[in-house]
Amino acid sequence: MKDTARILIEAVWPELDGGRHPVKREVGDTLTVWADLVREGHDVLAAVVKYRTKAEAEWREAPMRHFDNDRWTGAFALTENTRYVYTIEAWTDRFASWTRDLDRRVQAGQEVESELGEGAAQVSDAAARAAGPDRESLVAAATLLRGPGPIGGRVQAALAAPLAGLMARWQARTHRSGYDRELEVVVDREAARFAAWYELFPRSQGRVPGRHGTWDDCIARLDDIRAMGFDVVYLPPIHPIGHTKRKGRNNALVPAPGDPGSPWAIGNAQGGHTAIEPALGTLDDFRRFVEAARARSMEVALDYALQCSPDHPWVREHPEWFYRRPDGSIRYAENPPKKYEDIVPLNFDTPDREGLWRALADVLRFWIAQGVRTFRVDNPHTKPLPFWRWLIATIQAEHPDVVFLSEAFTRPKLLRALAKLGFTQSYSYFTWRTTKAELTAYFTELCRTDVREYLRANLFANTPDILTPYLQEGGRPAFKIRVALAATLSSLYGIYSGFELCESRAVPGTEEYQDSEKYEIRVRDWDAPGNVKPYIAKLNALRRAHPALQRSTNLEFHDADDEAVLFYGKVDAAGGDPVLVAVNLDVRTVRECRLRLPLDALGIGPDEPFRVLDLLRDTEHAGQGADYRVRLDPRDEPVLVFTVRR
Domains by residue range for the chain, with CATH:
1-93+178-188 (2.60.40.10), 190-305+353-550 (3.20.20.80), 556-645 (2.60.40.1180)
* pLDDT tops 90 at residue 4: no
Q: Give 552's DSSP letter.
A: S
Residues involved in catalysis: 378, 407
* C-alpha separations of 585 from 460, 482, 483, 605 in Å: 17, 9, 12, 31
* pLDDT tops 90 at residue 334: no
* pLDDT tops 70 at residue 184: yes
Question: How far is C-alpha 644 from the geometric centre of its chain's CA atoms?
Answer: 28
pLDDT band at 333 (very low <50, low <70, confident <90, very high): confident
* pLDDT tops 90 at residue 574: no
pLDDT band at 2 (very low <50, low <70, confident <90, very high): low
* pLDDT tops 50 at residue 1: no
- For strand 23-26 and strand 183-188, is the pairing parallel, antiparallel, or unpaired? parallel
Q: Would you call 261 exposed, middle or buried from its count of C-beta atoms within 10 A (0-12, 13-18, 19+)?
A: buried
* pLDDT tops 70 at residue 337: yes
What confidence score (pLDDT) does residue 513 get?
97
Q: Give 501's DSSP letter.
A: G
Average pLDDT of the residues in 117-134: 96
Tell me: cis bond preceding 209? Omega within 30 of 0 counts: no
Note whether 235 and 200 are within 8 A (CB).
Answer: yes
For residue 556, is it left (φ>0), alpha (ψ between -120 and 50) or beta?
A: beta
Q: How far separated are the first and last CA of the chain, in Å rounded?
A: 64
Q: Give 371's DSSP letter.
A: T
* pLDDT tops 70 at residue 145: yes
Task: Supply the pTM of this predicted model.
Answer: 0.94
Give strand ranges (E) for 473-618: 492-496, 556-558, 565-570, 579-584, 591-596, 609-614
What confidence score (pLDDT) does residue 339 get?
79
For residue 177, the SS3 value is: strand
pLDDT, one tens digit per residue, over 89-115 is 999 999 999 999 999 999 999 999 999
Total Cβ atoms within 10 A of residue 318: 16
Tell me: cis bond preceding 14? Omega within 30 of 0 counts: yes
* pLDDT tops 50 at residue 402: yes
* C-alpha separations of 2 from 6, 10, 182, 456 in Å: 12, 18, 21, 42
* pLDDT tops 50 at residue 552: yes
Long-range contacts of 381-384 (CB under 8 A, 24+ apart): 381/408, 381/410, 381/411, 381/414, 381/415, 381/418, 382/345, 383/306, 383/346, 383/348, 384/348
522 vs 508: CA distance, rounded Å = 20
* pLDDT tops 80 at residue 575: no
